[in-house]
Structure 1
Amino acid sequence: MGEPADCDVACAPAGLSMPASAAAGPVSHAIFRVARLHRMHVGQLLRRVGLHPGQELVMMQLWDGGPQRQTDLARLLGSDAATMTRTVQRLEHAGFVRRMPCATDKRVTIIEPTAASLALRREVENIWAEVESRTLGDQSDADRAETLAALERIETNLKIVARP
């Protein structure tokens, strides 16, 4: 075994500096860090209402679109079938969704929000407003619009290369 690591270097809190090996992608490294922190913060807030990150996105689709095929939910949210199945099972176990076979095609599963989930809607909307406020801080409306536009351009670029 080697010598014990120098704790000043090896035990420094994550995210304090960009590793030299990531220097070729500073924006990508920043996106990774921001996405990780954003997801952690959303997770902390969603725990208050019994949801995990990503589950609220399923609920939003159901609240706005009504009952939907499970495969359509997966497609809309960019999820694979197995992940969507687990998410729906967890939401069903929590009492927020109900699964039903399609009346015309028994191979198709329809997911619908329950009355219990409808009671969560306002709370989830408030959580998203809180996250938005904390994420953007004191940015002006113009800066917020510029941030959103830049993120949309990045998303468009990635959609082109990340097709399954």
Structure 2
Amino acid sequence: MTRPTSATGRTPAGAGPGAGVSLPVPASAGGGPISHAIFRLARLHRMHAGQLLRRIGLHPGQELVMMHLWELGAQRQTDLVRLLDSDAATMTRTVQRLEQAGFVRRRPSPTDKRASLVEPTAASLALRREVEQSWSRLEDLVAAGLTADERTAALHTLERLEQNLAQASVDPPDADPDGGK
């Protein structure tokens, strides 16, 4: 059974068994309707991104690495971790997979013997336009039917939510709001 998920108490249009639009909202998530909506949105966004990227031989997240490499040129893997707010193990696997696919290569850093640089290959440069088209298509899917003002407002709201969580990472709230009383 799909529970209402919006502030109005209605279930999103098309929601229901097999509709692929929404997950049932457990009663225990009632205290976090925005968080649950973000979870659902992220799940669907990643699914659609995966479908679009699979057609060009990439998995979600790999295109972000490629975008940074195309924009900035060769980077140390540790710099990619920082740029993408990733972890070292995930970045290592991502770079290895991109290298196996022929989209990046590693070469020794000329300034740091301990580091290697990850750089895009000519094959990846041919992929760039397809990645850009996939992202444009994804944006069209996400923002379908929104006016320019609604797109601006949505982006502003998402940026604010991101800022809130980034700030909470720097200054985490107490786990116990009552202070243990």
* TM-score, normalised relative to structure 1: 0.90
* Structure 1 residue 162: Cα displacement: 2.7
Structure-1 residue corresponding to 2:161: 154
Aligned length: 155
1:23 aligns with 2:30: yes
Structure-2 residue corresponding to 1:43: 50
1:96 aligns with 2:81: no
Of 111, 115, 119 in structure 2, the residue corresponding to residue 112 of structure 1 is 119
Identity over aligned pairs, percent: 64
Of 27, 32, 37 in structure 1, the residue corresponding to residue 39 of structure 2 is 32
How many Å separate the matches in 1 of 2:23 and 2:84?
A: 32
How many Å separate the matches in 2 of 1:19 and 1:80?
A: 31
Name segments (4+ residues, structure 1) moved above 2 Å: 12-17
How many Å separate the matches in 2 of 1:38 and 1:16?
A: 14
* Structure 1 residue 17: Cα displacement: 3.1
Conserved? CA contact 2:108–2:115, under 8 Å: yes
Of 90, 95, 99 in structure 2, the residue corresponding to residue 83 of structure 1 is 90
Structure-1 residue corresponding to 2:68: 61
One-letter amino acid matched to 2:86: S
How many Å separate the matches in 2 of 1:112 and 1:17?
A: 43
Which consecutive unaligned segments of at least 5 residues does structure 1 have? 1-7
One-letter amino acid matched to 1:152: E
1:134 aligns with 2:146: no
How many Å separate the matches in 1 of 2:113 and 2:100?
A: 22
One-letter amino acid matched to 1:83: T
* Structure 1 residue 16: Cα displacement: 4.2
One-letter amino acid matched to 1:86: R
* Structure 1 residue 37: Cα displacement: 0.4
One-letter amino acid matched to 1:20: A
Conserved? CA contact 2:23–2:40, under 8 Å: no
* TM-score, normalised relative to structure 2: 0.82
Secondary structure of 1:52 counterpart:
coil
Q: Point out which structure has higher relative CO (alpha carbons under 8 A, 6+ apart).
A: 1
One-letter amino acid matched to 2:81: A
Secondary structure of 2:55 counterpart:
helix
* Cα pair distance change 1:32/1:16, threshold 3 Å: closer
